[in-house]
Amino acid sequence: GAKNNDTGSGGGTPTSGAPAAGLKIGLAYDIGGRGDQSFNDSAARGLDKAKTEFGLDVKELEATAGETEAQKEDRLRQLVEGGYTTVVAVGFAYAEAIGKVAKDSPEVKFAIIDDFTDGVDTGANIANLTFAEQEGSFLVGVAAALKSKTGNVGFVGGVNTPLIQKFEVGYTAGVKAVKADATVQVKYLTQPPDFTGFNDPAKGETAAKGMFDAGADVVYAAAGGSGNGVFKTAKANSKWGIGVDSDQYNQPALAEVKDVIITSMIKEVDVAVYDFISSVKNGSFKAGQKVYDLKAGGIDYATSGGKIDDIKAKIDEYKAKIVSGEIKVADKK
Amino acid sequence: MTVGGLSVGLDTAAAPKRGKRASPWTYALFAVAALAVISLVRVTTGATDLTSAGTVQAALTAAVPLAMAALAGLWAERAGVVNIGLEGMMVLGTFGAGYAGYQWGPWAGVVFGLFLGVVGGLLHAVATVTFGVDHIISGVAINLLAPGAALFMSKLYFTDAPGGGARQSPPIGDAPKVTVPGFADLMGTIEDKHWFLLSDLAGVLRGLTTQISVLTLLAAALIIGTGWLLWRSAFGLRLRSCGEAPAAAESLGVNVYKYKYLAVTASGAFAGLGGAFFAVSSGQFREGQTGGRGFIGLAAMIFGNWRPGGLATGAGLFGYTDAMSLRGSDAVHALLLLLGIALLVVAVTQYRSGHHVLSGFAAAIGVLFGWWFFASDEVPPELVGAAPYVVTLLVLTLAAQRLRPPKLAGEPYRRGQSG
Amino acid sequence: MRKLTPRSVLLGLAAPVGALVFAAVVSAIILAVTGHAPTDAVDAMARAAERPRTLVNAVNSATYYYLAAVAVAIGFRMKLFNIGVDGQYRLAALLSAALAGAAFMEQLPSFLRITVTIVVAMLVGAAWAGLAALLKVTRGVSEVISTIMLNAVATYLVSYLNRPERLAVSTAGSNNIGTPKITEGGQVAGFTVEGSSSKLFGLIFLAAAVGVLYWFVLSRTRFGFELKATGLSESAAVASGVNVKKMVVLSMLLSGAVAGLVGMPQLLGSSYSYSLDFPAGLGFIGIAVALLGRNHPIGMAIAALLWGFLANTANSFDTSGIPREIVDIMQGVIVLSVVVAYELVRRYRVRAEQHAVGGALGRTKTLEEVSS
Amino acid sequence: MSTEPPAAVELTGITKRFPGVIANSDVNITVRAGTVHAIVGENGAGKSTLMKILYGMQPPDEGTIAVNGAPVSFGSPADAIRAGIGMVHQHFMLADNLTVLENVVLGSEPRKGVALDFAAARAKIRDISDAYGLGVHPDRLVDDLGVGERQRVEILKVLYRGARVLILDEPTAVLVPQEVDELFGNLRELKAEGLTILFISHKLDEVLSVADDITVIRRGTTVASVSPSDVTARELAELMVGSALPVPELRDSTVTAKPVLTVKNLTVTGADGRLVLDDISFTIHAGEVLGIAGVEGNGQAELVEALMGIHAPNAGRVTLGDRAGNQRDITRASTRHRREAGMGYIPEDRHRQGVLLEASLWENRVLGHQTRPPNNRGPLLDRKGAKADTRRIVSEYDVRTPSIEVNASALSGGNQQKLIVGREMSGRPVVLLASHPTRGVDVGAQAAIWDHIRRARAQELAVLLISADLDELIGMSDTLAVILRGRFVAEYDPRTVTPEQLGSAMTGAGKEG
Ligand SMILES: Nc1ncnc2c1ncn2[C@@H]1O[C@H](COP(=O)(O)OP(=O)(O)OP(=O)(O)O)[C@@H](O)[C@H]1O
Ligand SMILES: Nc1ncnc2c1ncn2[C@@H]1O[C@H](COP(=O)(O)OP(=O)(O)OP(=O)(O)O)[C@@H](O)[C@H]1O
Ligand SMILES: [Mg+2]
Ligand SMILES: [Mg+2]
């Protein structure tokens, strides 16, 4: 029934190039949804910004743990059927589903965050918004190595997935780039399909404490909500932590421990979402992969709190090298 | 029925030997011997984390909610009600602690978490005691209901709260922590010397005296208090009689329903407290933060033979291995050697008491672990986390199953139906 | 299974219907109290029920819920609590997916390839469950604990194996990771349903066959009788020549084998690969469905369909602005109220039965009759 | 009459209805203070129900209770206890996992603050135990006690609460004569102290020997109040059932020379390493009943379980002969093989081993015979065949039930027992292990069960009979052996032996034989 929506979406011809008036945006979140204070929230911020600016009609749906692809697909289809002609899927779990739905609804513009798999979620009406997390992680790795007095730093990953491994790989490379003989302790809190590792500050605390006890003095928490535990124990032990996804120094929930957060690896999902919506809005939609990396400004590191002011120049040096392509950061071990 | 319905297999393990219970000295001696073995492994492998204060502290933190869940199970089952809904009640506790905690401080959180646990317990009591519903079914229903309700309420109350979100509460302050001044430092100095046995003992003691949350102390008091109340008081005798022979209790004028209600409600309270402990110690409520610990708590209770000391040991063992697997990977690698040695010791003792098959089995696994230790530098990181589960399974397999569950736990009971 | 009379049918329906109404009322109250319109929820469900795609998805979900429930029920019938269906099916799905996706399998004719995949899944599930059975009969380890532990161990094992250097392949640009995709010959074709983009799982017939087999074995065979007898009274079963140890091992193996099937409809009918987003936690849903369906082959089927429908209406609730968590709450309330209702009906039945027995005995005679 | 002290207990117009049954209807009983008052009646006559009403466990639908002349109304046993009434139940009401002390003080614990005052409790229990010669040790686990001791713990429980009126519901069913004598000694002592005792028993000679007054209950109502000096056991029985008392006896010997069950040097050790069966040897021939007498807990249960293959023996040999006389070693055979080879089994505890309470009667017919026609066809159940055969058993063995589809739990104990006997006989056994086949069964059913055993014996059935009822043992056996502490200590000719001789051999007091 995809054809029926042609009139519903304002009567415009659904080809790229023609700006649509009164855009209806559907957003399908990953597990956690709006309010997860992390990845999904970041996407929500982008949506909110677009909404206030363009006055959109939006619909937000979220995933449940343990659901199947059919349910994800159903979610996207419900959005399409509801007349939402611009659909954003947050998270790689939507890869297969978006591929199928997009094929059936060529008039709808889709975007998927964090995935670009050829033949699965690619098509003329899909934008694949991916991030070079390894590059940002590299920079905070540099910061960690420069700040560390012991030459021993840590990485706490929430759940052992390829996505989080990207963070680890980049981080380790960053550390080694500064101090080749530095030790990087690595710990993942849980293994899939147990995704509680993103949600268990107590585990984060235990893991980080172990790292501090073993001589680390900076720990990078790529662990969603479990990062809170990392920062808490860093504070209790007068050590440092590094945040992830957004500038965690400024997160209200972390106000009490923010002075140990020296920097954060920023992944601008909000920017990606906003960019995508405005591209549809002004008719400049482009299918295919759009990489948000350091160069594109989709990835960055935070300086709030001023803890790394002394080494900022050094970090920026590395940043420039990555942007210029002089340093290539691998995203896999 | 609670051990899993069937009693088959229990006869194959050594039968419960009654008679004298081991004296405290025997236990102490056993503990020292075990520590010596661990120390030996620590010295040979250099994995200081095996007995470091940090490990002990982390083990305590991990063990406390488990112990609370196990204690909750103990209260219910001693009164004859199986409570598999612990997980759900813990979830209610985490939410309660988050809700009250961010508004009125951690203690309010503890109290309200406990209160919501009580609500869950009451629901279970109404279903099982009044309506005679199968205990397992009621528990499963509560496990379905509670997380849904918690998330539902969390979205309702926390979404717009400052620093909160749809799935997490705003931050709660932490409960106070205490350190024994002077002593802890002294132990620290000894620990750093890495002497055989002495440093290990110091590490353990330091872990037990440094930065201990008041909630941990509360939990310890509750475990001891439960032991006293259930086995030394008239109230406890009546409560236990409801799990052993409710008909007899009723015929002596004990109001069985009342005690079952009390026990299951208390069970809910303990589970809620365990949940609150999660929230308060990690600084906020988070959806799903109990992560199935209610079930592990139940396992700890069975492991501990429905006794406070036993369940504390079970929770401690699990907490210890869990803490170790989350901390360095070295310690888990060293654990392979430790397990190997322990299994060989078991093999020898079993051989001497005539259980040749079991002895051979233990020896084989022991050698396997030893070989794994020497043939590798580390346990694959994906497998490290399995340590607590594997160790629990191994201990259960090799320890004789001298379990004595309350006789009528899980059996529906109706007033005036006996005799 | 009793004789069907109008009264017994009515009694049989009273419990579930009454409970469903009660659950609906409770959910409505919760919604109303929290400022949502219960009518919106009804609306959303009605719309979901009209949408062929949702119905197909519901039936598809019910397919594996049902398999999980049967796996659980086999143990439950003899008071054996296989909490480990979850770990069993995940491990089985991973290993059989790796096998089915392997290049050499492509040589095989399609039917054989699918059969081998399914058989391997059953074997893996049975083996993992067999571990718990072994621990129980040789060492008396409670299967409740051992299966909880084995679930966790399976999680770690799966994540160890699901790596590019072991069984998985990683695809460029993808953040997912899983076994190689099963090519067409290894897939089970689904059924196209008019108006639905989802296909009905071809393996729905497998689930149905398992259900029929379950019914047949339990009610028509000696094995089933012995299973039930053991569940009702272990000591009486032993005295009657039932080898309970053997029964524990057998039923645990069977339960594990059926658990191994749980992942198959999804794997061979939709995912074609075991990856990070393969559905998890189905074992626990199976417990709820088995309990709700009272271990009865048809009861569980109805429960599975109900569960599947509720799970697939969550999206519709979301669209209507109703918090999707209400589904969990409804499910919990349904289980509780159904069992309470069953218990009340059961009590009524027992009284009626005693009444009948009393009547047959003709116990009450007058004093004159007695003394004459 | 007005000078007489008020009656200790007066039950007036008590009526109690259960679904489909009137358990008590207009019962009137007056119990004089300081007497032993016996209540007799067949199974299901309503004796226990009446006593439960007096003990506050069930409310009467109609009628009043007066204690010492004052009307009372009991909402729970606690009220009855307060009024000085104590009850020892038909089935033990003890928690196995608790100690004697805990069992005794439960519900009226001496306290020191919140704590249970163990010292005080222990002292008081010792005092009572010594005063009445009960010989009870407060700190033993009830699980470790024999039946006689448990009985005494039950009595101690009542005395501990200072009861003035004792209800004893079938206290002697599980006791041997010596224990019964001891118990009666205790009762007389209690009576001398001014206590009043309500006593229920199916053993009429006991009743006659100990009671001061006897009330006969029939079908829920009082039919007679007699004094023991005025009636004989036979007359009493006729009052109870309206027919003559059945006598267990075997008319003539059917013993053949064909050995059926041969046991050689059977030895079994218990879980704690103790010898529970020590070198037992015997042979039962076709058409022979071997009776085994013994105080409960001397190895009878282990013997039966070893013979049924439920527990493996440590040493010894068991051989079973079939109808053709072929001998087979079954020492290591499984329970199923033994059953298929022709062993029938009437267990002592029907609820534990005999029936599935929550299964229909026809499923209970299948139980234990699931591998043989008419219940199966290969691996499949033959539901039709099983149901038809169940109907046959129900009518042949007079099982009172409206249908074969009701659950076994709906049947009274006696009817359950008849079903079990019918089932085991239908398996065409070559040997029947019968443990207490008539325990707790009323006289009518008893006679029927004995009759069935007799008839099967005439057709060359070999029977191992274990019973606590010595009359039954003596009357039904061709040979009698006495078991004590796991050994056969004596053998008797049932035609010449007296219950007293048996009793002393069972307790190790006698040394003849
Ligand atoms: N507590 C109870 N609840 C329901 N029914 C009961 C109860 N007690 C007894 N009955 C019913 O009463 C009947 C027989 O009771 P009762 O136990 O007195 O029989 P009995 O012949 O004395 O058996 P037994 O010899 O085992 O004592 C059965 O129909 C049984 O179902
Ligand atoms: N709780 C109950 N529910 C239903 N019926 C019952 C219950 N208790 C007893 N009955 C009925 O009342 C009748 C009287 O039972 P009661 O136990 O008083 O008999 P009794 O005289 O003690 O028999 P026995 O000599 O076998 O002990 C039983 O046969 C049974 O049918
Ligand atoms: Mg009775
Ligand atoms: Mg009675």
Owner of token pair 């890869």: A95
* Residue of chain A minimizing CA distance to C90: A193
Nearest-neighbour CA in chain A from C168: distance (Å): 12
- Look at residue C371 and tell me whether its pLDDT is greater than 50: no
Of the listed ranges D68-72, D149-153, D501-505, the one predicted with least confidence: D501-505
Ligand 2 atom 8, closest CA: D49
For residue B238, the CA-to-ligand 2 centroid distance in Å is 28
Instruction: State the pLDDT at residue D130.
Output: 86
The structural domain count of chain C equals 2
Best probe of the C interface among A3, A31, A67, by most C CBs < 10 A, is: A67
Q: For C102, how many CA atoms within 13 A lie in the half-sphere containing its CB?
A: 14
Does C308 share its domain with C329?
Answer: no
Instruction: State the pLDDT at residue D359.
Output: 92
C139: confidence class by pLDDT, cuts 50, 70, 90: confident
* Tokens found for residue A143: 């910061």
For residue D511, give every residue at least 6 positions away whose Cβ sits within 8 Å of its Cβ, in sequence order, or none: none
Question: Which one of C300, C320, C340 terminates a domain?
Answer: C320
Domain annotation covers residue C230: yes
* Tokens found for residue A149: 């007095």
Neighbours of chain C (3+ CB pairs under 8 A): A, B, D
For residue D324, give every residue at least 6 positions away whose Cβ sits within 8 Å of its Cβ, in sequence order, or none: none
Nearest-neighbour CA in chain B from D478: distance (Å): 36
C196 touches chain A (CB under 8 A): no
Read off the pLDDT of residues A2-47 as tens digits, 9 standing for 90 and up.
333 333 333 333 344 444 457 899 999 988 888 777 788 899 999 9
Share the mean pLDDT of chain D: 86
The DSSP H or E segment spanning B153 is helix B135-158
Ligand 1 atom 24, closest CA: D413
Query: Are A265 and A139 a contacting pair, CB within 8 Å?
Result: yes
Beta strands D111-112; D115-116: pairing state = antiparallel
Cα–Cα distance, B309 to B399 (Å, whole number): 16
CATH 2.30.30.140 fits domain D246-342+429-513 = no
Cα–Cα distance, B313 to B319 (Å, whole number): 10
Q: Which residues in D have their CB inside 8 Å of a CB on B? A: 48, 52, 55, 57-58, 76-81, 87, 89-91, 93-98, 102-103, 105-109, 111, 114-116, 141, 144, 157, 271-272
Does C293 share its domain with C331?
Answer: no
CATH fold of D9-241 reads Rossmann fold (3.40.50)
CB contact under 8 A, B9 and C245: yes
Instruction: State the pLDDT at residue B231.
Output: 94
Does C22 share its domain with C78?
Answer: no
For residue C238, the CA-to-ligand 2 centroid distance in Å is 29
CB contact under 8 A, C174 and A161: no
Instruction: State the pLDDT at residue B5.
Output: 62
Cα–Cα distance, D290 to D482 (Å, whole number): 11
Question: Which among C95, C159, C155 has a CA at the least distance from the CA of C122?
Answer: C95
B419 touches chain D (CB under 8 A): yes
C213 touches chain D (CB under 8 A): no
CB contact under 8 A, D57 and B253: no
* Closest ligand relative to D54 C-alpha: 2
ipTM of this complex: 0.87
C158 touches chain A (CB under 8 A): yes
Does C32 share its domain with C69?
Answer: no
Cα–Cα distance, D120 to D126 (Å, whole number): 10
Of the partner residues B234, B237, B245, the one whose CB lies closest to the CB of residue D93: B245
Domain annotation covers residue C49: no
CB contact under 8 A, B168 and A225: yes
D272: confidence class by pLDDT, cuts 50, 70, 90: low
Instruction: State the pLDDT at residue A138.
Output: 97
Read off the pLDDT of residues B237-287 as tens digits, 9 standing for 90 and up.
999 999 999 999 998 989 999 999 999 999 999 999 999 999 998 888 988
Share the mean pLDDT of chain C: 89
Q: Mutate which of D25, D42, D49 to test ligand 2's pocket (most atoms within 8 Å of Cβ)? A: D49
- Give Cα separations from C46 to A72, C61, C187, C309 (angstroms): 20, 19, 33, 11
For residue D325, give every residue at least 6 positions away whose Cβ sits within 8 Å of its Cβ, in sequence order, or none: D258
C17 touches chain D (CB under 8 A): no
A239 touches chain B (CB under 8 A): no
Owner of token pair 């100690």: D99
Structural domain spans, chain D? 9-241, 246-342+429-513, 356-428
Proportion of chain C above pLDDT 70, given as a percent: 94
Cα–Cα distance, C75 to C259 (Å, whole number): 11
The yes-or-no answer to whether D9-241 and D246-342+429-513 have a common fold is yes
> Which positions of chain B have pLDDT values less than 70?
1-5, 8-22, 400-402, 416-419
Read off the pLDDT of residues B48-76 as tens digits, 9 standing for 90 and up.
888 888 899 999 999 999 999 999 999 99
Domain annotation covers residue C329: yes
Instruction: State the pLDDT at residue D43.
Output: 66
Instruction: State the pLDDT at residue B403.
Output: 73
Provide the greatest CA pair distance for chain B: 67
Read off the pLDDT of residues D299-351 as tens digits, 9 standing for 90 and up.
888 899 999 998 888 899 999 998 887 889 999 999 999 999 999 999 988 88
Residue D49 CA: nearest ligand 1 atom is 18
Read off the pLDDT of residues D25-63 as tens digits, 9 standing for 90 and up.
899 999 999 999 999 887 678 888 899 999 998 899 999
Of the listed ranges A34-38, B385-389, C54-58, C143-147, the one predicted with least confidence: A34-38
DSSP state of C295: T
> Which positions of chain A have pLDDT values less than 50?
1-20
User: Would you list the DSSP string of C18-73?
Assistant: HHHHHHHHHHHHHHHHTT--HHHHHHHHHHHHH-HHHHHHHHHHHHHHHHHHHHHH
Does C86 share its domain with C206?
Answer: yes
Instruction: State the pLDDT at residue A13.
Output: 36
Does C332 share its domain with C276?
Answer: no
Q: Is C254 helix (H, G, I), strand (E, B) or coil?
A: helix
C88 touches chain A (CB under 8 A): no
Does C286 share its domain with C261?
Answer: yes
C3 touches chain D (CB under 8 A): yes
Ligand 1 atom 6, closest CA: B417
Structural domain spans, chain B? 51-326, 328-403
CATH 3.30.160 fits domain B51-326 = no
Domain annotation covers residue C96: yes
Stated pTM of the model: 0.89
Instruction: State the pLDDT at residue A224.
Output: 87
Domain extent at residue C165: 60-320
Read off the pLDDT of residues D13-24 as tens digits, 9 standing for 90 and up.
999 887 666 788
* Tokens found for residue D152: 């005494």
- Give Cα separations from A172 to A143, A147, A162, A223, A308 (angstroms): 11, 15, 15, 16, 19
Average pLDDT over residues C303-323: 91
CB contact under 8 A, B283 and A33: no
Instruction: State the pLDDT at residue C67.
Output: 98
Please report, for the domain that includes residue C74, its CATH number.
1.10.3470
Best probe of the A interface among C85, C176, C275, C310, by most A CBs < 10 A, is: C176
Does C96 share its domain with C22?
Answer: no
Domain annotation covers residue C54: no
Cβ of C354 less than 6 Å from ligand 1: yes
Chain A residue numbers with beta carbons less than 8 Å from the beta carbon of C90 are 193
